[in-house]
Amino acid sequence: MERLWAPWRMHYIGSIPDADGCFLCHIQKSDKDAENLVIARRPHCFVVLNRYPYNNGHTLVCPNDHAASLDQISEPALADLMRTTGRLMNIQKKLMRPDGFNVGLNFGRVAGAGLPDHLHMHIVPRWSGDTNFMPVLADVKVIPQALEELHEKLVAAWKEQNYVE
């Protein structure tokens, strides 16, 4: 068995609260944005870096309200979700220079939803060549940037674009 050592992850593992419930609702209600990797808060949604990213810059745009489907959130929340997704992609284009994006929602566990009761938009920047021999031969994905470093850059870029409301 191959082992990939990542001892810096123990800080996060040790900080996971024992509280039951939705981790997105906990983040939405918390005032610890840097600790929770919240990039922005909007009137009806918030933006957070994924702690278990598929790729560098994997981000979630989440409605403030706990809802499992699009028909359970208001029209203003739907508009804010999409507007925020577009703004985040524009920032990531300028800051990270990806060649493309995977963007989408997963509904239900069989569709890949790890948290089926609180919908959230995935924004995954992609680069030509970001799928290399590591995932193919070793079943290992390399994320080249620390979450905290990327968080600081995205927060600064968001504020610079005057998206703060």
Q: Is 5 domain-assigned?
A: no
The answer on pLDDT for 150 being more than 70 is yes
Give the residue carrying structure tokens 């028909």: 71
Q: Work out the mean pLDDT of the chain and round it to a whole number.
A: 84
CA 75 to chain centre: 22
Residue 43 burial by CB count (10 A; 0-12/13-18/19+): exposed, middle or buried?
exposed
Q: Is 69 domain-assigned?
A: yes
The answer on pLDDT for 122 being more than 90 is yes
Instruction: Find which of 17-26, 41-50, 120-129 is predicted with most confidence, using mean pLDDT.
Output: 41-50
Full domain range(s) for residue 108? 20-160
Across the range 88-92, mean pLDDT stands at 96
As for how many domains the chain has, the answer is 1
In terms of pLDDT, which residue wins out, 109 or 85? Answer: 85
The answer on pLDDT for 134 being more than 60 is no
Q: Is 12 domain-assigned?
A: no
| Per-residue model confidence (pLDDT) at position 19 | 52
Sign of the CA dihedral running 75, 28, 114, 122: positive
Reply yes or no on whether 118 is catalytic.
Answer: no
| CATH at 152 | 3.30.428.10
| Per-residue model confidence (pLDDT) at position 112 | 77
Calculate what percentage of the chain has a pLDDT beyond 90: 56
| Per-residue model confidence (pLDDT) at position 110 | 82
Say how far apart CA 47 and CA 164 lie, in whole Å: 12
Q: Is 125 domain-assigned?
A: yes
Q: Is 53 domain-assigned?
A: yes
Catalytic entry in 58, 120, 122, 151: 120
Q: Is 8 domain-assigned?
A: no
